[in-house]
Structure 1
Amino acid sequence: MSSTKTAPQTIQGGCLCEGIRYQVNFAPDFDFSKGCSTCQCVQCRKNAGAVIAHLRRIEPENITFTAQKTLKKYYATPGIARGFCSECGSWVYWHPEEDNYLALAIGTVDKEDLLKYGSLLAESNVHFYCAEEILGITDNLPGEKWKYDNEGEGAELIKDNTQFFQVLCSQMSDLMCLLIFLADLALFALILNIDLFKGHFQVLLQVIFNIKAVFLLVLGRPWFHFLHFWLRLFFFLHLATVRVLMVIDRARQLEVHIALVFTFPVSIVGL
């Protein structure tokens, strides 16, 4: 089942042993583009047993626990409850009790709902405790990256130079593709004006195409492939047209020669 951008009205989930089961109801105007975040602090990592925790903020009144006989709370930080299953150990939510919200652990959502609505439920653009990110593993997350928390004293937003260089490289790649396309036009104009049928020009053209094909695989620009396809199509159509015209011209020359062969004896007899 593929993920969809259709907003869910309800989702269900629970812990591994199903001692905890819940249902979340979303309002029709619920904004799924906000409220999802990741955390890389030591507490969340140890609690989740993963290098990164994925959490979706919801209102406490929107979640209903249909089963909670094994639900326990742990306070790694005073005033912040971490709801977990005392039987299987699944971490279900993170809840600052002085605030009116609950951060649901996305991984506890049922498989069917997660596969269907995962792109909305887990689309996070805010990331906490990025000072503890793991290079090459959790350091390439898109969006706002906070050194620790985004509230209170010491809140610091990290400037992500990686995204800047990615955009710069993308723009440079587009520029390179455009320059190659213009070079193609100049090359075709040169070849068409000189001689299309000399073998060394065709070999040169094929070598250029092969080198460029490897280059384009690295750049991966669909719009350039589109332009390049039509340029090559034009070139080979022109080549075919010229060949047809040459055949027609030779046929006409042959027709003249045949006519001369038949008319020459008649001319002699007439004399």
Structure 2
Amino acid sequence: MHSGSCLCGAVTFQVRCELQPPDACHCRQCRKTSGHYWASTDVPREMLTIIGEDRVSWYRSSEKVRRGFCVNCGSSLFWDVEGRPRLAIAMGAFDQPTNTHLEKHIFVADKGDYYEIADGLPQEGL
């Protein structure tokens, strides 16, 4: 089992399965939401328990996508596509150890101009 929380602890969560290798999204929306790039792992909804769910505010960032934030501290926690059986959770919100490693970078054509991606991992969306 893996657990995590927002910065202030008002929202906590538990994941009852091993974590899939996360990816790092460099698209404009993810950079604006997170302040850098967004690293997350997808979790089957039935394997996730959110405690303090009433403290999560959902922002609709596109027609089918919403993003979940803590209403107290503003931590960016979740990325959700309507109708998809999995929910993405921010890697930075997990308690360690996560026992996984970044798998790839996506939407790299949109990355910020202030950094380079030099870790040798696959890059999509060039």
TM-score, normalised to structure 2, is 0.88
1:12 to 3, 12, 16: 3
Q: Figure out how many residues of one structure are paired with residues of the other and give that number.
A: 126
Runs of 4+ in 1 over 6 A off after TM superposition: none
Structure 2 unaligned spans of 5+: none
Deviation, 1:35, is 4.1
Distance 1:135 1:42, change over 3 A: closer
1:130 equivalenced with 2:90 (yes/no): no
CA distance in 2, matches of 1:142, 1:104: 24
| Residue aligning to 2:25 | 39
Letter in 2 for 1:92: L
- Say which structure, 1 or 2, has more relative contact order (CA 8 Å, 6+ apart): 2
Identity of aligned residues (%): 25
Higher strand content, 1 or 2: 2
Name stretches of at least 5 consecutive residues in structure 1 with no aligned partner. Answer: 1-9, 148-157, 159-271
Equivalent position of 1:68 in the other structure: 53
Distance in 2 separating the partners of 1:93 and 1:73: 9
Which among 114, 117, 122 is matched to residue 144 of structure 1? Answer: 122
- The separation in 2 between residues aligned to 1:136 and 1:53, in whole angstroms, is 15
Higher helix share: 1
Q: What is the identity, as a one-letter code, of the residue corresponding to 1:88?
A: C
Distance 1:136 1:70, change over 3 A: closer
Counterpart for residue 79 of structure 1: 64
| Larger-gyration structure (1/2) | 1
1:31-84 CA deviation, whole Å, 9 max, x = no partner?
x5x54100111111111122x211011111111012223111111111111011
